[in-house]
Structure 1
Amino acid sequence: MPDLLIELFSEEIPARLQGRACEDLKKRITDGLVEAGLTYAGAAAFSTPRRLTLTVQGLLAESPTTKEERKGPRVDAPEKAIEGFLRGAGVSRDDLDVRDEKKGQVYFATITKPGRAASGIVAEVLEDTIRNFPWAKSMRWGAGSLRWVRPLHSILCILTDDAGEANVVPMDVDGIASSDMTEGHRFMGNGRFSVTSFDDYRSKLKAAHVMLDTSERAEAIWQEASNLAFAQGLEIVDDKGLLAEVAGLVEWPVPLIGNIDDEFLGLPPEVLQTSMKEHQKFFSVRNPKTERIEKFITVANRTTADNGATILAGNQKVLAARLADAKFFWENDIRVAEAGGQPWLDSLDNVTFHNKLGSQGERVARIAALARELAPVVGADADLAEAAAKWAKADLSSEMVYEFPELQGLMGRYYAAPAGHGAEVADAAQDHYSPLGPSDDVPSAPVSVAVALADKLDTLTGFWAIDEKPTGSKDPFALRRAALGVIRLVLENDLRLGLKENSAQAAQVLLKLAEWQAALLGAKAEQKTATGEEADAAAKRVHDLAHQVEAATALVASLPADLLSFFHDRLKVYLRDQGIRHDVIDACLAMPGNDDLTLLVKRAGALSDFLKTDDGENLLQGYKRANNILSQAEEKDGVEYSYGADLKYTEAEEEKALFNALTAAEGTIATAMKAEDFAGAMVGMAALRAPIDAFFEAVQINTDNDIVRRNRLNMLNQIRQICLQAADLTKIEG
């Protein structure tokens, strides 16, 4: 069984595209081979900046011969129909069989497809893959029609048999003929060479200064860089994303450690790290004693006679220019902050958040108003929460954030103290964006929590107001992430927050601000005596705001329920990841107070744990049996059996025992539910398991005595009502 080796050699492939390209090459080739009848034992794909490589082991030498039986028309069908069948099946009339069927005699054709050599199949599949490769971006060069991410130079494609003999798979793609030749490193290689197998290919590349495996290059970079930093008593700032990117930029990584000029060491470490990463792809090297970033590590793509001195000198020169810009931004921003930062706040009025939701300044006003409303709920000072919300977006106007948008929030924290704000406001500026993802830390400081909740609730209510909701996989405004952020803020801070009420508050804030804006601009429009164009622009703005007011007014009534449903959908995903079944969540969502997420999750957790026990599972079956019998009887009799059972109409001992157990459990469970002790309520329900089992074992519900039957049905209703205090068990599966 031969092994297949493919290499597509080109100009430099962008690092961000290499991982996906490996997966696509492997999938498209292996899927094509299997579809053509060639199975294989294993496959692996690799990438470097200049090549995509695929090895397939244990490939069949040829596809098997197959036979397909195809049913045709009846024997007495029109001649044209029979001829069409013959053409489609590729057979003659003499090759047809006639068989008796219910509706008469029918033609059948047996189509034999002989096996094909692997070489021909591989050539077809590879050419199709190359011509239709799903690059995110591709280019054309020369006079051909072939598109590739960068100009494609050569195609290596060989099949190596069990004896070790390699045969080139002949093919030609726009003048690029396949061969068994490749080449090593662009600068340190020794020209082109031939290979006979994957092992031979890999070892010869290594000798030609090419590490084929991306993970091997990343490991080599990290190990050598760590050693360089450790030798000087320093440590590398961990950055897995940068490591993966740099590993895709070099074929023979050579880490070098360089110096940062003293004049830049006073910059915030995050500014140094971001500038070096974004502009130069440098790793930051930190002093563990001072937490300052003092040096950098760059990764060259070759060894040099001067051990990288020339490379470092050039990199340090470019870095100094970049950091000089960062220092200029920092010093300018500090001057603005020390003056109170008002120019930043004023400029937010000229930055559009969304054309239907106004400017960033208008949004900040909404968030500040809502943060003040939320402050008592989260235990924060209302004045401090409002001040923090007003400052939270100020750094969006700073020069540093304009250059490095990823530093938003962080720079607001740095600039807060020079602007005269305390630590709580500074922390809120950085933390109010969190959590950004499922693994992100959740703010716990009350002021930060108030501003973070206000920010996310304003986002959600605003986009709901203009009907920009997520659809399918599309969520351009990250509303799912915002909803999950609210959920985690509430749950991980154990907040008792009614989402309906607070969503309505957010909507009211949106409405009040829109009304105020419309009134203000309307007054300005009336007083306008300037040119007609200016008056028309003001009138249009008033008209637009009128629609915004109308939308916000409707929102106040409809948003809470609609948005709550969206929160519930995100909560289901969140809880499923924690092992709570969807039907358990549905059973708890059906209960009152389902907009209190903390209460809802406590109920779902207790119910989930209870249903995992034998008592829980058996009680659920008893409840379902009671509910089914009762529902059928109520439908048949046209009445509700909800008046309660009477002990004097009980007959069997099991019946009396259940009556007493229900009476005791009713009070126990009601008390526990009032105290929100869901675990205690489940313990009370567990006590019903044995008497309910015994009751159904010994008692016939539909007895001939109507009084006894009604009493027993009323007892079943008691079972239903007691169990439904905890959750809607009808929604539990099984």
Structure 2
Amino acid sequence: MPDLLIELFGEEIPARMQADAAAHLQKAVTQALVDRGCLYEGARALVTPRRLALSVHGLPVATPDIKEERKGPRNNAPMPAVHGFFKSLGIPPQGFAHADTLLPGGSVVLGEITVELRGSGADAVFFAIRNKPGRPTAEVIAEIVPAVVRAFPWPKSMRWGAASVSTSSLRWVRPLHSIVCTFGPETEEPEVIAFDIDGIVSGNATRGHRFMAPDAIRVKRMDDYIDSLERAKVVADPEERKRRILHDAKTLCFAQGLELVEDEGLLNEVAGLVEWPVVLIGSFEEAFLAIPDEVIRATIRANQKCFVVRDPKTGRLANRFVLTANLEAADGGKAIVAGNERVIRARLSDALYFYETDQKPLPDFETFPTPLDQRMAKLRALNVVFHEKLGTQGARVDRIKALARHIAPLVGADPDLAERAAELAKADLMTEVVGEFPEVQGLMGRKYAVLQGEPESVAAAIEDHYKPQGPSDRVPTDKVAVAVALADKLDVLVGFWRIDEKPTGSKDPFALRRAALGVIRLLVDNGLTFRLTALDGFSADLLSFFHDRLKVLLRDQGQRHDLVDAVLGSGEGNDDLLLVVRRVEALAALLATDDGKNLLAGTKRAMNILRIEEKKDGRTYSGAPDAALIHAGLPEERALYGLLQSATAHARDHVAKEDFAGAMKALAELRPAVDAFFDKVTVNAEDAAVRENRLKLLAELRAATATVADFAKIEG
């Protein structure tokens, strides 16, 4: 079966856009093919800085014949409705007369359309059948590719050349130079699918490396394309470029007794900057190792897109760096390395100056004993705004201090240390290093706190109060850090809820979803029971937002969404997220057993009976059943009644002790009695008093299970 090869070749595509562009090209082309009836066996998209490429293999030679059928009005419908149906099919008015003369069971051919009147008498219905013959796939491709190219959703795009004066001319991320579009089976020379996009005529020629192999190359299909580019000093597959960079970088470091500090994000970016990766190693003066490792790494990474290197003997960075060039230089890369060394030397000189400056007292704040206090005083004095409706950063720090002091005893932290950490948590925002490298905020605050003799818990809290910042980020365990981290996130959430600045749809400019998830992980991972609604300003609406975040987290961890809904639906203790999680886990464990599954089935049967009978009777069956009627009834009634009294009491005792597994086990003991009750007892007895008493017994079962979850919300 034939294969399709597309390449869009031009100037450099920004690295951050490449992966999404390749994915869109594949999705847009393959979806358009499928929509036109061209099913395929597989597709593969590749991207380099200068080209997007797509191969779709196993396509048919032509699209299949398609029969489209459309239902119209009845034979007895008003004539304007029938004529409107004919008009919607594209049938001209002179064909409308057939609607008046067509008999049930008959048909008429009107151009490409066959109109049938199916059925009998006045109830017969008009149907239109259009037979579309298949088309050559090459013809379909010639329509699809130009449309995909013109509609490509680049985050930023441009027009160029003489055509740029027209607003209808092609827009592309950078000037587009050529388009390859070939189609054919492996055993034959593929044909070029001919089309023209603003003067760019499709063909079968591309170009290799800009400097090392700039001549034109004729290509056929994906395998040939990849091999031809390899010979022309282009590695077409981004994953292969990443593999080569990582392998060569590790090898160079190992040869010098060092270790590469791996960085997945940087590796992805560097692989998007080169077509022919050549890995080199450079160095800088050892004196710069006085700078914190994180600052060295941020400097070298941000400015030169280079990897840093670790000395395995000390665990600290070595005075080396790894860079990736885009060509094989005649001098073996010496000039490239020297150029990078000059830039890195200058950047590290700046970083060292910033680091040393941050440790000196500010001239205008000589009355403050230590630099971090002075930085915080400067932050307050400058009245730096946090949010126009929530005040300054200084006011926010005051709120965090008060909240951290309140939370500290609830999580086992020293209130004085929590308050001190909260006071200094934002001070490094005013330091020179953080001003230059915002990504090291918190971390620099910790280092400066250690240098000025702050307690280790205070220093740790300054760094960790931002954490966790995502589902895979580390969760602080130091109690002071936990208190300040909770205070920081809860202040943001309560504040923005108070001014009605909530996330909407996919928009979350203040990262409130991340803050809520951070609070959940701080509480759950550290095993902290904490009543959120006890905090001032914590609304029911905000609690609902937390519940939504908790559902997402638990679902990602493999818990069933219906079990989360069931626990939250019980309405008890839902503002203590740790207890909610433990109840969900205990409920899942119960339902994994036969007793749990059968108890669920029996309870849901009881609920269904109650729902029907309560609706019919216009009342709710609650209150204790009549013990005398129970004892005068069937043995199965007495057994269930007796077990309900003991199991409910035991379950409540376990819940009060936060032993949810024990509560579930107590409820599981009901299973045999529930099974026997439904096997032997008729709930809707003829005697009205007996019927009411039995319904109350089922209501007791409903209430017993509600101590841990709303079983009605559990699926199955």
Global fold match (TM > 0.5) = yes
Shift of 1:634: 5.4
Shift of 1:157: 1.3
**Are the equivalent residues in 2 in contact too, given 1:434–1:442 (CA < 8 A)?**
yes
Q: Which residue of 2 aligns with 1:128?
A: 147
**Are the equivalent residues in 2 in contact too, given 1:650–1:708 (CA < 8 A)?**
no
Matched AA of 2:17:
L
Shift of 1:41: 1.9
Shift of 1:124: 1.6
1:346 is aligned to 2:377: yes
Among 571, 592, 595, the residue aligned to 2:550: 571
Q: Secondary structure at the match of 2:55?
A: strand
Q: C-alpha offsets along residues 113-151 of structure 1, whole Å, 9 cap, x if unaligned?
A: 333322222122111111111111111101222111111
1:643 is aligned to 2:667: no
Q: Which residue of 1 aligns with 2:3?
A: 3
Q: C-alpha offsets along residues 53-79 of structure 1, whole Å, 9 cap, x if unaligned?
A: 111112222223334455678799579
Matched AA of 2:507:
K
Q: Which residue of 1 aligns with 2:156?
A: 137
**Are the equivalent residues in 2 in contact too, given 1:410–1:430 (CA < 8 A)?**
yes
**Are the equivalent residues in 2 in contact too, given 1:285–1:296 (CA < 8 A)?**
yes
Matched AA of 1:725:
T
Among 339, 343, 352, the residue aligned to 1:314: 339
Among 259, 280, 283, the residue aligned to 1:259: 283
**Are the equivalent residues in 2 in contact too, given 1:431–1:448 (CA < 8 A)?**
yes
Q: Which residue of 1 aligns with 2:655?
A: 673
Among 660, 673, 678, the residue aligned to 2:642: 660
- Report the TM-score, using the length of structure 2 for normalisation: 0.90
Shift of 1:473: 1.3
Aligned 1:520-669 pairs, distance under 5 A: 559-589=538-568, 590-630=570-610, 636=617, 638=619, 640-646=621-627, 649-669=631-651
Shift of 1:248: 0.7
**Are the equivalent residues in 2 in contact too, given 1:650–1:711 (CA < 8 A)?**
no
Q: Secondary structure at the match of 2:645?
A: helix
Aligned 1:506-521 pairs, distance under 5 A: 507=537
Q: Which residue of 2 aligns with 1:379?
A: 412
- Report the TM-score, using the length of structure 1 for normalisation: 0.87
Shift of 1:622: 2.0
Shift of 1:496: 1.7
Q: Distance in 1 between matches of 2:125 and 2:602?
A: 58
**Are the equivalent residues in 2 in contact too, given 1:340–1:420 (CA < 8 A)?**
no
Matched AA of 2:55:
T
Aligned 1:704-715 pairs, distance under 5 A: 704-705=686-687, 708-715=690-697
Q: Which residue of 1 aligns with 2:63?
A: 63
**Are the equivalent residues in 2 in contact too, given 1:99–1:105 (CA < 8 A)?**
no
Q: Distance in 2 between matches of 1:585 and 1:405?
A: 38
Q: Secondary structure at the match of 2:54?
A: strand
Among 130, 134, 137, the residue aligned to 1:118: 137
Q: C-alpha offsets along residues 658-712 of structure 1, whole Å, 9 cap, x if unaligned?
A: 3332333243323322322211121111111111211221222343445544543
Matched AA of 2:32:
G
Matched AA of 2:301:
K
Among 710, 724, 734, the residue aligned to 2:706: 724
Do the aligned partners of residues 91 and 54 (structure 1) sit closer, same or farther apart at CA in structure 2, a change above 3 Å counting?
farther
Do the aligned partners of residues 89 and 371 (structure 1) sit closer, same or farther apart at CA in structure 2, a change above 3 Å counting?
same
Do the aligned partners of residues 92 and 220 (structure 1) sit closer, same or farther apart at CA in structure 2, a change above 3 Å counting?
farther
Q: CA RMSD in A?
A: 2.6
Higher alpha-carbon deviation: 723-732 or 260-269: 723-732
Do the aligned partners of residues 639 and 267 (structure 1) sit closer, same or farther apart at CA in structure 2, a change above 3 Å counting?
closer
**Are the equivalent residues in 1 in contact too, given 2:72–2:85 (CA < 8 A)?**
no
Structure 2 runs not aligned, ≥5 long: 96-107, 164-168, 363-368
Q: Which residue of 1 aligns with 2:45?
A: 45
The number of residues matched between the two structures is 680
**Are the equivalent residues in 2 in contact too, given 1:91–1:109 (CA < 8 A)?**
no
Q: Which residue of 1 aligns with 2:314?
A: 290
Do the aligned partners of residues 126 and 706 (structure 1) sit closer, same or farther apart at CA in structure 2, a change above 3 Å counting?
closer
Q: Distance in 1 between matches of 2:620 and 2:58?
A: 73
Do the aligned partners of residues 165 and 415 (structure 1) sit closer, same or farther apart at CA in structure 2, a change above 3 Å counting?
same
Q: Which residue of 1 aligns with 2:202?
A: 178
Shift of 1:80: 12
Shift of 1:320: 0.7
Higher alpha-carbon deviation: 679-688 or 312-321: 679-688
Matched AA of 1:129:
V
Do the aligned partners of residues 658 and 70 (structure 1) sit closer, same or farther apart at CA in structure 2, a change above 3 Å counting?
closer
Q: Which residue of 1 aligns with 2:681?
A: 699
Shift of 1:632: 5.1
Higher alpha-carbon deviation: 362-371 or 283-292: 283-292
Shift of 1:45: 0.8
Q: C-alpha offsets along residues 90-125 of structure 1, whole Å, 9 cap, x if unaligned?
A: 898584356446548887665443333222221221
Matched AA of 2:176:
L
**Are the equivalent residues in 1 in contact too, given 2:67–2:129 (CA < 8 A)?**
yes
**Are the equivalent residues in 2 in contact too, given 1:584–1:608 (CA < 8 A)?**
yes
1:393 is aligned to 2:426: yes
Q: Secondary structure at the match of 1:444?
A: coil
Q: Secondary structure at the match of 1:156?
A: strand
1:688 is aligned to 2:662: no
Q: Which residue of 1 aligns with 2:182?
A: 158
Higher alpha-carbon deviation: 608-617 or 440-449: 608-617
Aligned 1:408-419 pairs, distance under 5 A: 408-419=441-452
Q: Distance in 2 between matches of 1:664 and 1:64?
A: 70
Q: Distance in 1 between matches of 2:584 and 2:407?
A: 26
Matched AA of 2:707:
Q
Q: C-alpha offsets along residues 199-247 of structure 1, whole Å, 9 cap, x if unaligned?
A: 2222111111111100000000000000000111111111000001101
Higher alpha-carbon deviation: 646-655 or 218-227: 646-655
Shift of 1:368: 0.6
Shift of 1:369: 0.8
Shift of 1:183: 1.2
**Are the equivalent residues in 1 in contact too, given 2:402–2:419 (CA < 8 A)?**
yes
Do the aligned partners of residues 608 and 212 (structure 1) sit closer, same or farther apart at CA in structure 2, a change above 3 Å counting?
same
Structure 1 runs not aligned, ≥5 long: 508-558
Q: C-alpha offsets along residues 176-203 of structure 1, whole Å, 9 cap, x if unaligned?
A: 1111111111111151121233222221
Do the aligned partners of residues 44 and 297 (structure 1) sit closer, same or farther apart at CA in structure 2, a change above 3 Å counting?
same
Do the aligned partners of residues 269 and 624 (structure 1) sit closer, same or farther apart at CA in structure 2, a change above 3 Å counting?
same
Higher alpha-carbon deviation: 141-150 or 616-625: 616-625
Q: Distance in 2 between matches of 1:467 and 1:641?
A: 40
**Are the equivalent residues in 2 in contact too, given 1:32–1:125 (CA < 8 A)?**
yes
Q: Which residue of 2 aligns with 1:88?
A: 90
Matched AA of 2:715:
E
Do the aligned partners of residues 693 and 401 (structure 1) sit closer, same or farther apart at CA in structure 2, a change above 3 Å counting?
same
1:281 is aligned to 2:305: yes
Do the aligned partners of residues 143 and 673 (structure 1) sit closer, same or farther apart at CA in structure 2, a change above 3 Å counting?
same
Q: Which residue of 1 aligns with 2:532?
A: 499
Aligned 1:451-470 pairs, distance under 5 A: 451-470=484-503
Q: Distance in 1 between matches of 2:708 and 2:429?
A: 48
Do the aligned partners of residues 92 and 601 (structure 1) sit closer, same or farther apart at CA in structure 2, a change above 3 Å counting?
same
